[in-house]
Structure 1
């Protein structure tokens, strides 16, 4: 199967890739990265053979997963498997060439032509490599990563780091680039008395150490086996990576109002930097890098090999459910959404987290009330439940359900993949903003009116406030706006494969419009969550990093002086052209 796919890659992709890349890539200067397959700079077969001899696994040659269905008359791979799993986040993460959003497997040229590989073979579009890196290292050890980094540095390659490919900014792909794939680094260890390297022996943690490829479903299982809770991401099947972009971008969770963000629970990182050094970063060793890795963004400071998280005791939780399938009038929608937003900061103060799916037509809230009795939870939500029941004449679904642990909620509702949810396997782009608490408290009606005016389905993440707001804003590299936020709001646009470039551009304009409306609501200091955001932020430095940007940049210059690691809208990316291929003059 591997050889058949490799032959397919060589026969189908190569000719189109050579002609297209040579038309857009100029590596005549070292200011530009060497991109495949520029023969004037690209490493030779012998060079790659030398690299292969230094790593523990054969080199990988990623292809779009849909390529298994081509040619349509005689598929090169198991097309039925691809069709069955195309919306499964865990399956997609197991494919080196798959991104969770397939639009980031696609490359659109300046002239409007597309290089892509569509699952729907009847579209008659040739299957091409698109934005998927053509070669990389299947890293299993820190030494593998060190060899890959040294190789990329020597040959001036553009590096992309991929664990699972969950990325709304496309940071895990890059046309003609060199992939470091960390997905198969799966080691997990637990210590009830973890001492950070270089730290005092009397400062210990109940800690879970996760290698770079561990996903949240694996981390939750490990925490449960030790009767602990770990603050992590929520996605169908738990497919998001636990030691990659999620944590480096901040890492929000339904547990954040009680225990803080991911960065507030990170005790220690190990990371390979562009020099090839394998460093430990914590409060005692390389504290500046430790600060930057907690919020400065993934793919920017190096390649993580592990993250160690503080864990928490198990506790009972209450699931809060509210569903209004159809608003009868805009006035009803406005009143209910406004009341929810008004109450949301007080819920966060209690440590409650959750997600509200809001549109002009419907409302759904799934919340988690930790460390409280069923009676107390019911008493807390009764005023809102009564308000909704009265406004909907009793047609809404209102419920509270007790669970023994967070893990039992997770396994009941989220441990299996829900096909097509969370945008996995669909082309999409986002717009988002953090909603300041003072805005919610002063003008919740305006907040709800603005959100409903977007005339789209959006997600109001109740993942801020509470414990998040109690952390010193300057204790991590995370945007300080998080510490003043009540919620994180995100919405987006999506399109089916085969959509014309002109129609995609129209949808992108709609997404840009969402950004403008949200910016008008929260102001320039509102900020946004780097992991779930727009590709078109006019001032990404301020939006994603706030007044921490200059310090984050200085730390990057120290640990990555040559700028080997650069991602879309990441720290230092303004020094590069839009394609992240050439340094600006």
Structure 2
């Protein structure tokens, strides 16, 4: 062993020992003690508390159903799932989680684009809050509980119709709290605009009825201020409308034809009545595997008048999928098939809002270029046609800031294998970078954890007001996630920490080569956390070797090393790593210490400290990578032994 390498290892080991002596890591302590007395909560519940290690097959199946979310990129197995039967169960769960500082989230439909309805500790599955009925037929008011999804609500409220989503399995809670675009929004406004009263459990466990007279500031915030920020919504009272026969139609074209169709569409949408809406979709038709661009028209009025309005599109050589007089619930029964769902595959979602008249030729040409050349044929672009009544409602009346938009775009990269992440991520990020200048903000219900300046993009000038309300009703920030109101998360800063050199390392950088080595260490970290096999593959030399842990296992050859990483990643649900020391660089060697937290598919939470060191060749490829940690401790945790 060279003298330089020996010095580097000794300094890293000393640093590791000093950290262990001086700091009692609370995360590690929890993994040993696991002192959260869930039996206390179980004793107070009418509903169920199910552990991730449940042995009963029926309960284990229910647990797996409870943690299912649409985007398979964000699968997490929480330690426990609680299925409340009534409001008191929700109150008890919130108070318990607050008392013991347990990470908490509530789940309804599971369509958070980045999985914010899950967390590693406690998830409240609202599925048993499943009652709905029209309670006032004269004024059109319905009661809807928070665990319901729209595919259940539409038939249950007939002959009345709610202002609701087109995706069948989206839950009422997230949809409503984030604003809620509907094919009826141009006629009536957002879903959140219809809510007369929210029933909510606050962070202190209080159960309150929130309306314009009782908690008016919170009532303002809940209508468009985003899900998961202020409390657990258990039910709403909302306006619904008498169902009537309307005009519905869908016409599809090739991607190439869409260029001319959308040029006309841009001008057409500037003069049509608010009763008409036309949603667009670029996708591959599942049953025939052909790329198509489709416009779906809904005219909330006379069938003949609606037909007259879309006549120009009927003569544009498209394929008429349907043209039918029916009620909106009848339309949703056949149209809302889940075509645009990720369906537990891997997904990356981005959004942008386009104002009236900005659906111009350059914008359309860029969309065409990128959807035509998408790496995964599952990927798609969807746009909702809004404006109308949404824009007429005074901006200050609710927390939904982006009322001026005419179109809401959703970009979805969808792919089958984790190994395809890098290619699809590059595609959607590059695509977004080319079209973002057409956007005026983004839509919080298509939340994106890679979005810079997300506070202003989602909430605009209303963010500070929302923050004041948050601090009033949730002073301890109990309801929190990466992009919750009050979060300091900033993707630009996170990327800087991950890939670039932070200030603490600049003093030790003596050359461009040292700087590049530190960058490559951060790229290695990125590859591990994101389980990005192609990225890791690009960092290792052909004849490299890996010692994990040192003294126990030695793997030689790049192919075997990468195969081992892939096998390891396949055992995980998620992994996070935090560098806890300065990255020391000495010639072609680098070393540092870090904390690792991983959740495996057995349902075990594994947490440990590690020392890593690297040796690089002259091309700055990794020739040797080693890790030092307590192997026995890690194996015990990985098998859920405490």
Unmatched segments (≥5 aa) in structure 1: 1-22, 69-75, 83-91, 106-130, 194-203, 390-395
Asked whether the equivalents of residues 515 and 534 of structure 1 are also in contact (C-alpha less than 8 Å), the reply is no
The aligned residue for residue 105 of structure 2 is 160
The total of aligned residue pairs comes to 462
Matched, 1:43 2:13: no
User: Judging changes above 3 Å, is the alpha-carbon distance between structure 1 residues 61 and 209 closer, same or farther for their aligned structure 2 residues?
Assistant: same
The aligned residue for residue 42 of structure 2 is 52
How many Å separate the matches in 1 of 2:421 and 2:24? 30
2:66 counterpart SS class: coil
Matched, 1:445 2:361: yes
Pick one of 260, 266, 273 that aligns with 1:335: 260
**Within-5 A mapping of 1:254-333:** 254-324=183-253, 326-327=254-255, 330=256, 332-333=257-258
How many Å separate the matches in 2 of 1:27 and 1:465? 55
Deviation track 1:11-48 (CA, whole Å, cap 9, x = no partner) reads xxxxxxxxxxxx9xx9956xxxx7995245x434xx21
User: Judging changes above 3 Å, is the alpha-carbon distance between structure 1 residues 174 and 509 closer, same or farther for their aligned structure 2 residues?
Assistant: farther
Shift in Å at residue 340 of structure 1?
2.1
Asked whether the equivalents of residues 133 and 157 of structure 2 are also in contact (C-alpha less than 8 Å), the reply is no
How many Å separate the matches in 2 of 1:472 and 1:359? 35
1:153 counterpart SS class: helix
How many Å separate the matches in 2 of 1:276 and 1:369? 44
Shift in Å at residue 342 of structure 1?
2.8
Deviation track 1:116-158 (CA, whole Å, cap 9, x = no partner) reads xxxxxxxxxxxxxxx2212032112111111111111111111
How many Å separate the matches in 2 of 1:556 and 1:310? 26
Matched, 1:366 2:296: yes
Matched, 1:569 2:496: no
User: Judging changes above 3 Å, is the alpha-carbon distance between structure 1 residues 297 and 518 closer, same or farther for their aligned structure 2 residues?
Assistant: same
Asked whether the equivalents of residues 355 and 367 of structure 1 are also in contact (C-alpha less than 8 Å), the reply is yes
Shift in Å at residue 399 of structure 1?
6.3
How many Å separate the matches in 1 of 2:367 and 2:28? 42
The aligned residue for residue 327 of structure 2 is 405
Pick one of 456, 460, 482 that aligns with 1:546: 460
Asked whether the equivalents of residues 93 and 239 of structure 1 are also in contact (C-alpha less than 8 Å), the reply is no
User: Judging changes above 3 Å, is the alpha-carbon distance between structure 1 residues 463 and 383 closer, same or farther for their aligned structure 2 residues?
Assistant: closer
Structure having the larger proportion of residues in strand: 2
Shift in Å at residue 570 of structure 1?
2.3
2:269 counterpart SS class: helix
User: Judging changes above 3 Å, is the alpha-carbon distance between structure 1 residues 565 and 514 closer, same or farther for their aligned structure 2 residues?
Assistant: farther
Asked whether the equivalents of residues 81 and 123 of structure 2 are also in contact (C-alpha less than 8 Å), the reply is yes
User: Judging changes above 3 Å, is the alpha-carbon distance between structure 1 residues 211 and 573 closer, same or farther for their aligned structure 2 residues?
Assistant: same
Shift in Å at residue 239 of structure 1?
1.9
Shift in Å at residue 209 of structure 1?
1.0
**Within-5 A mapping of 1:166-181:** 166-175=111-120, 177-181=121-125
Asked whether the equivalents of residues 432 and 518 of structure 1 are also in contact (C-alpha less than 8 Å), the reply is no
2:156 counterpart SS class: helix
Asked whether the equivalents of residues 317 and 369 of structure 1 are also in contact (C-alpha less than 8 Å), the reply is yes
User: Judging changes above 3 Å, is the alpha-carbon distance between structure 1 residues 333 and 216 closer, same or farther for their aligned structure 2 residues?
Assistant: closer
Q: Which has the higher contact order (CA 8 A, sep 6+)?
A: 1
2:44 counterpart SS class: coil
How many Å separate the matches in 1 of 2:194 and 2:577? 35
Q: What's the TM-score, normalizing by structure 2?
A: 0.67
How many Å separate the matches in 2 of 1:27 and 1:179? 28
The aligned residue for residue 530 of structure 1 is 444
1:422 counterpart SS class: coil
Unmatched segments (≥5 aa) in structure 2: 1-19, 285-290, 495-574, 579-642
Deviation track 1:226-264 (CA, whole Å, cap 9, x = no partner) reads x211111112xx22211x111111111111111111111
Pick one of 121, 139, 142 that aligns with 1:208: 142
How many Å separate the matches in 2 of 1:295 and 1:144? 26
**Within-5 A mapping of 1:134-533:** 134-175=79-120, 177-192=121-136, 205-224=139-158, 227-235=159-167, 238-242=168-172, 244-324=173-253, 326-327=254-255, 330=256, 332-347=257-272, 349-358=273-282, 362-372=292-302, 374-386=303-315, 388-389=316-317, 396-398=318-320, 401-414=323-336, 421-440=340-359, 444-455=360-371, 456=374, 458-479=380-401, 481=402, 483-497=403-417, 499-500=418-419, 503-522=420-439, 526-533=440-447
How many Å separate the matches in 1 of 2:456 and 2:274? 30
Asked whether the equivalents of residues 158 and 581 of structure 1 are also in contact (C-alpha less than 8 Å), the reply is no
User: Judging changes above 3 Å, is the alpha-carbon distance between structure 1 residues 280 and 454 closer, same or farther for their aligned structure 2 residues?
Assistant: same
Deviation track 1:342-376 (CA, whole Å, cap 9, x = no partner) reads 323434x332234211369531112211112x321
The aligned residue for residue 197 of structure 1 is none
How many Å separate the matches in 2 of 1:62 and 1:262? 35
How many Å separate the matches in 2 of 1:562 and 1:547? 24
How many Å separate the matches in 2 of 1:28 and 1:346? 63
Shift in Å at residue 170 of structure 1?
1.0
User: Judging changes above 3 Å, is the alpha-carbon distance between structure 1 residues 287 and 342 closer, same or farther for their aligned structure 2 residues?
Assistant: same
Q: What's the TM-score, normalizing by structure 1?
A: 0.73
Alignment RMSD (CA, Å): 3.1
Asked whether the equivalents of residues 247 and 307 of structure 2 are also in contact (C-alpha less than 8 Å), the reply is no
Shift in Å at residue 398 of structure 1?
3.3
